[in-house]
Amino acid sequence: MILDGKACSERRLELLREEIDESGLHPHLATVIAGSDTGSQMYVRMKHRVCEQVHIGSVGIELPADVTLDRVLGSIRQLNEDADIDGILVQLPLPAHIHADQVIRSVRTDKDVDGFHPYNLGLLLSGSPKFAPCTPKGIMTLLAENRIGVAGKHAVVVGRSIDVGRPMAALLTNADATVTVCHSKTRNLPDETRRADILVSSVGKAHVITADMVKKGAVVIDVGINQLKGKLVGDVDFAAVQDIASAITPVPGGVGPMTIATLMENTFLAAKLRTCDTVW
């Protein structure tokens, strides 16, 4: 089975637009980007386009590559205080001289729709997430929508980044999977991945997951986005692994669209939470 993230995200976005229209709320997302990285600019443009599609208002703050940390923090402060803004997304990576951690920590936790603030990561670890990071949360949605159960399964996550690997492990643990996290210092990676009922790879290296590393019938989720001979590919050798896996995400068209749909869902969640008496 090919896990079609594009089709799934389109269904979710359609439902979300209806829900937003019925709610009477007018959610707003603000994006902050620094520098002129073409990949980052493309992602931000895409996010604004999808906002429009689901009737979420959006504003974009564009800062130059040589921006000071003070100016970035000043922009976030303004957005934190702006009553019209429900969600704030800081497009990563930031220029090397800007401490990303400091910027992430400056976002109000109830507007942190990326879920990277340590407070929101803490809630996730405690088992009661509010804003879980969009990529792993989108993967959980994709599994659920395809009726792939997680409880009791052995999940192996390759990669331990804050945006994908660690929160993925937490979400899978919260859903009662038994989880192994692997990284660049893992001894004998194939031994670990071959034990996976659900294998998630977020490494960023083309074909780091080969057919001999996958158990027959495993569910394979490929987060990686890599260029190989001018083509966009994931971490997984798709052509070889698709015959072994019971289900697999393609690249492109798998995890990526689910990430954006989840960002929209998190923004609407932020707008809903701001209208009720939730204690943060």
Would you tell me which residues interact with ligand NAP (CB under 6 A)? Answer: 135, 158-161, 163-165, 182-186, 189, 202-205, 208, 223-226, 255-256, 259
Is 111 marked active-site?
A: no
Q: Which is nearer to ligand NAP, 40 or 226 (CB)?
A: 226
Beta carbons within 8 Å of 112's beta carbon, 6+ residues apart: 87, 88, 119, 120, 131
Smallest separation (angstroms) from ligand NAP to the CB of 211: 16
Q: What six digits make up the tokens of 278?
A: 């939730």
Q: Is 91 a catalytic residue?
A: yes
Active site residue 114: yes
Question: Which CB atom, from 35 or from 165, has the smaller least distance to ligand NAP?
Answer: 165
Residue 148, amino acid: I
β-strand partners of 253 = none
- Decide: 223 and 208 in contact? Cβ < 8 Å: no
Q: How far is the CB of 65 from ligand NAP (least distance, A)?
A: 20
Q: Least separation, in Å, of the C-beta of 197 and ligand NAP?
A: 19
Q: Among residues 105 and 207, whose Cβ is nearest to ligand NAP?
A: 207
- Comparing CA positions, the residue from 103, 108, 85 lying closest to residue 29 is 85
Task: Between 75 and 129, name the residue whose CB sits nearer to ligand NAP.
Answer: 129
Catalytic residue among 86, 110, 112, 114: 114
What's the count of helices (H) and strands (E) in the chain, helices before strands?
A: 10, 10
Token representation of residue 150: 């997680």
Query: Smallest distance, Å, CB 43 to ligand NAP?
Result: 9
Given 47, 111, 137, 153, which residue is catalytic? 47
Going by their DSSP bridges, the two strands 154-158 and 219-222 should be labelled as unpaired
Q: What's the token pair of residue 57?
A: 């208002």
Task: Please tell me whether residue 100 adopts helix, strand or coil conformation.
Answer: helix
Give the residue numbers annotated as catalytic, written as ranges: 47, 91, 114
